[in-house]
Structure 1
Amino acid sequence: MASERTTDPDALIDRILHLWRVDAETLPSEPKLAELTGASRNSVREALIRLEERGYVHRTQGTRTSRNRRLPGVGRRIDEQFDHSLSIRAAGYEPTLEVVSADRLTLESGVARYDDLPDGTVVLRTRKMWRVDGAPYALAEDLVPVGRDVELDPRRPVFDLAEKANGIRVAWETMWIDAIALEAERAAILSAEPGTPVIEMTYCGYGADDAIGYWSREVQLPAPEGLRNALIRRVRS
């Protein structure tokens, strides 16, 4: 019998995904998943709803749940929170993280900005570059409002920095995508030619109360196989 104890939803989702990786052909029923994971039927049902929202499965009333079997080959999902180093390693490559710069500054008006933080906001500004098997891949600039007098490790993911610097546990992230020609400064860091076509992604991470945890701007060079950006969304007929 499945346990009725309280189950951490994320941990249960991870257990279900692990079961699917072990057996790629069989999709157990809800009762079987409850038995295999030690969770209650209700917890398993909620986990499957979350998995459907993330594009892992498609559930139709009256029929069995079907799995999205293309997911293993889609690359890096831009609809989910991620850390580049983990994504690179998961794709079978060796990641290298380089902190290009890290400093605290007060934001001023009259200069080129991509954020909407108030003038006078004190932020930790970091620029970090990731390499894939030694080759430059992505360069990100993060602006994290600093509301606490704490020591911050710029190598940490921006999600962690936001929570430590200003106490905001980011709940949502809004992203804008543009195709741009790489300007000279960032091209030099990435060992690329100025004018190289790249994808630029601008992110705003904010908490459940709408407080800003960070702004981030990132450019990526053409990605190797397994790291191409992918968006998974549900489509209803």
Structure 2
Amino acid sequence: MNTIFGPDGFLSDEGPLYLRLQAKIRQAVLDGALKPLEALPPERELAASVGVSRVTVRKALEGLVAEGLIEQRHGSGTFVAPPQRKFQQGLSHLTSFTEDMRARGHATTSQWLDRSIGRVTPEEALRLGLSPGEAVARLSRMRRADATPIVVERACVPAALLPDPAAVDGSLYDAMDRLGHRPVRALQRISAENLGAEDAALLGLPEGAAALCMVRVAFDAGGRPVELTQSHYRGDAYDFVAELTVSSRS
């Protein structure tokens, strides 16, 4: 470990000290000198070995945590992150998170944040075709796949279709199917975002970590909007995959 974090060739490089230290640790991980789940020295020891301040060490480690290269465990220290297996979701079929993970053999669990009835906001009313002041069911939760925090979902459904949000235990679409309002098609927009403090804490990531934001409006067989969901997926553990075909030339 001393050979990895010694001062040789470090202070003579150019650029901010914390970026040089980041590069040194990153290269050690890529070269295999630091193994997955291996502990890094404590901040004080690392600062003394390299010859920089603890503030510099802390800033370097924060950047590597945001990259997903290392992870910090409260009361335990700093460790090289385990190899990250990404979960994938296809974009050609409309399924719920539970249904998609179940089809791929993954177990899902949820941490409920909110299951309540409230008044529709102007944006929700516009997207769901509701009148101002109408009631909606709100369902917010953090979802896990195989115990890994994956996504924070915030769904909004007209209360006329889902009068008791507490009736939703697992799949929202299963519950809506039982009530005769299962979505059959949806419009989705996916964009890159940085996690805010609340969602980052729920997903076990630092504030500002990369995420995929998906906003979906789903429709029933009659073309009525029945669901508006905003989801933040952790970018280091989830991919969306689409199969494309080449269109014929006219």
Amino acid at match of 1:205: A
Q: Distance in 1 between matches of 2:103 and 2:239?
A: 13
Q: Any gaps of 5 or more consecutive residues in structure 1?
A: 1-73
Tell me the equivalent position of 2:173.
159
* Equivalent runs, 1:50-129 vs 2, <5 Å: 75-109=88-122, 116-117=127-128, 118=130, 119-129=132-142
Residue in 2 aligned with 1:197? 210
Shift of 1:146: 1.3
Letter in 2 for 1:154: V
Partner amino acid, structure 1, of 2:241: A
Does the CA-based 8 Å contact 1:140-1:218 persist in structure 2?
A: yes
Distance 1:78-1:194 versus aligned 2 partners, 3 A rule: same
Q: Give the letter for the 1:179 counterpart.
A: A
User: Is the contact between residue 170 and residue 213 of structure 1 (CA under 8 Å) also seen in structure 2?
Assistant: yes
TM-score (norm: length of structure 1): 0.57
Q: CA deviation at 1:90?
A: 4.1
Match of 1:231 in 2: 242
Q: Is the partner of 2:110 in helix, strand or coil?
A: strand
Q: Aligned letter for 2:171?
A: P
Match of 1:171? 184
Determine which structure has more spread, i.e. the larger CA radius of gyration: 2
Given the superposition, is the C-alpha separation of residues 223 and 158 from structure 1 closer, same or farther in structure 2, using an over 3 Å criterion?
farther
Q: How far apart, in 2, do the equivalents of 1:223 and 1:88 lie?
A: 17
SS in 2 for 1:102: strand
1:215, CA displacement in angstroms? Answer: 0.4
Q: Secondary structure at the match of 1:168?
A: coil
Mapped partners of 1:123, 1:133: distance in 2: 31
CA 1:134–1:193 in structure 2 vs 1: closer, same or farther (change >3 Å)?
same
* CA–CA distance in structure 1, aligned partners of residues 235 and 168 of structure 2: 25
Cα offsets for 1:198-235 (capped at 9, x unmatched): 110000011233311110010111354xx531112332
Q: Is the 8 Å Cα contact of residues 99 and 155 (structure 1) preserved in structure 2? A: no
Deviation by residue 1:66-107 (Cα, 9 ceiling, x = unmatched): xxxxxxxx9421221223234334445432222221111012
Deviation, structure 1 residue 143: 0.2
Name the CA distance, whole Å, in 1 between partners of 2:90 and 2:162.
Answer: 34
TM (normalized to structure 2)? 0.55
Preserved contact between residue 183 and residue 218 of structure 2 (Cα < 8 Å) = yes
CA distance in 2, matches of 1:178, 1:140: 15
CA distance in 2, matches of 1:161, 1:115: 24
Distance in 2, matches of 1:220 and 1:171, equals: 23
**CA offsets 1:135-166 (integer angstroms, 9 cap, x no match):** 2111111001011585442224232344556x
Partners of 1:103 and 1:124 within 8 A in 2: yes
Give me the whole-angstrom Cα distance separating, in 1, the residues matched to 2:155 and 2:139.
Answer: 5
Q: Between the two proteins, what is the percent identity of the paired residues?
A: 19
Provide the aligned C-alpha RMSD in A.
2.8
Deviation digits for residues 18-73 of structure 1 (CA, Å, limit 9, x no counterpart): xxxxxxxxxxxxxxxxxxxxxxxxxxxxxxxxxxxxxxxxxxxxxxxxxxxxxxxx
1:184 touches 1:194 (CA, 8 Å); kept in 2? yes
Q: Structure 2: which 5+ residue stretches go unaligned?
A: 1-86
